Amino acid sequence: MRVRRVLALVVVVALTGLLSGAAGGAAPTAEAAVTAAVGLLPARLQEAVTAPAAPAPAAPAVPDAAPAAPVVLQQSRQQVTSVRVAPVDVPGTPCTSIARACVDLSGDQAWLLDDGGITYGPVPITSGRAGFRTPPGTFPVTFHSRDHVSSIYDAPMPYSVFFNGGIAFHQGSLSQLSHGCIHLSRTAAQEFFGSLDRGDLVQVVA
């Protein structure tokens, strides 16, 4: 604050010198007027005015940016399967590596598969009776129902895993044919229920 007042005083004195010089004839230069004005100040104030300005503090060094963390791409089992160029046969089954569950209607057997290999099975099954034959094809799992009851036949269908409309894997009789569903033992039905996810492919072979 004191330095500002000193500088203001120097400017006033310098301007006064310029004006008086102009009135008397030869006007001093602005630099000479300022120098003369500073010379009129006390020694302590001259030092304050003429002292060199303190250098500006250096900007803090910015560390190099940390390397970006690697991006981890998570893919579902269905996405990974979809990029395979060509499915391969799964040894011991009539199905291919795109399937997570395989059903052999003529052999009355079923398996759980993963990455082209058998993870469970074969287990015995029964399928649709005459007039209600289980259609062959490849179908995605659509939903699960732990304690399902058929709204058409008013029959219990525990551990249902639906994959083709109203057709599902579920616990059922292995001595009687179904109305299109795949009957499994209680143990096998629980295994299929816990292993198959929505979107997993079920391959049914005639």
- Which positions are annotated as active-site residues? 170, 181
30 and 18 Cβ atoms separated by less than 8 Å? yes
Other Cβ atoms closer than 10 A to 35: 15
Other Cβ atoms closer than 10 A to 176: 9
Cα 186 → chain centroid: 38
- CA distances (Å), 182 to each of 20, 120, 160, in order? 115, 16, 10
For 24, which DSSP code?
Answer: H
Going by C-alpha positions, the residue among 6, 54, 14 that lies closest to residue 34 is 14
